[in-house]
Amino acid sequence: MSATLLKCTDLCVRFAVKDGCVHAVENLTFEIHRGECVGIVGESGSGKTQSVLAIMGLLPRNGTSTGNVVYKGQSILNASRQVMNKIRGESMCMIFQDAMAGLTPFMQIGDQLCEVLIEHQGLNRADARDRAIEVLEIVQFPQPKRRFSMYPHELSGGMRQRIMIALALLCRPQLIFADEPTTALDITIQAQILEFMKGLQKHIETSIVMITHDLGVAANLCDRIIVMYAGRMVESGSVKDIFFRPQHPYTQALLRATPRLDADPDEDIPLIPGRPPNLQELPVGCAFTERCDQAQKRCMAERPELSQKFDDHLAACFVEQTK
Ligand SMILES: Nc1ncnc2c1ncn2[C@@H]1O[C@H](COP(=O)(O)OP(=O)(O)O)[C@@H](O)[C@H]1O
Ligand SMILES: [Mg+2]
Dist. CA 94 → ligand 1 center (Å): 17
Which residues are close to ligand 2, an ion, with C-beta < 5 A? 49
* CA 213 to ligand 2 centroid distance, Å: 9
CA distance 90 to 176: 11
Instruction: Enumerate the β-bridge partners of residue 37.
Output: 208
Ligand 1 closest atom vs CA 228: 21
Residues paired with 15 in a beta bridge = 22, 63
Residue 209 backbone class (left: φ over 0; alpha: ψ -120 to 50; beta: rest): beta
pTM over 0.85: yes
- Rounded to the nearest angstrom, the distance between the alpha carbon of 20 and the centre of ligand 1 is 14
Nearest CA to ligand 1 atom 7: 15
Class for the domain spanning 4-91+171-315: alpha beta
Choice from 13, 14, 22, 40 to test ligand 1 binding pocket (greatest atom count within 8 A of CB): 22
Q: What is the 3-state secondary structure (H, E, C) of 76-123?
A: CCCCCHHHHHHHHHHCEEEECCCHHHHCCCCCCHHHHHHHHHHHHHCC
Contacts of 114 (CB under 8 A, 6+ apart): 125, 128, 129, 132
| H/E stretch holding 4 | strand 4-17
- pLDDT of the residue at 98: 73
Residues contacting 276, CB < 8 A, separation 6+ = 43, 45, 46, 229, 230, 287
Contact assessment for residue 274 and residue 290, using Cβ atoms and an 8 Å cutoff: yes
Ligand 1 interacting residues, C-beta cut-off 6 A = 15, 17, 22, 24, 42, 44-50, 60, 62-63, 279
- Work out whether strand 207-212 and strand 63-71 pair parallel, antiparallel, or are unpaired: unpaired
115 alpha carbon, distance to own chain's centre = 26
Return d(Cα 277, Cα 282) in angstroms, integer: 6
State residue 221 phi and psi, 5-degree precision.
-115, -30
Taking the C-alpha atoms of residue 1 and residue 40, their distance in angstroms, rounded to an integer, is 25
pLDDT tens for the 323 residues of the chain, in order: 569 999 999 999 999 999 999 999 999 999 999 989 999 999 999 999 999 999 999 999 999 999 999 999 999 999 999 999 999 888 898 888 776 777 899 999 999 999 988 988 889 999 999 999 998 988 888 999 999 999 999 998 888 988 988 888 887 789 999 998 877 677 777 777 777 777 777 777 789 999 988 888 888 889 999 999 999 999 999 999 999 999 999 999 999 887 665 666 566 666 788 999 999 999 999 999 999 999 999 999 999 999 999 999 999 999 999 87
In the DSSP assignment, the letter for residue 183 is: T
* Closest by CA position to 242, among listed 254, 231, 230: 254
- Return the ligand 1 atom nearest residue 46 CA: 21
Whole-number pLDDT of residue 196 = 76
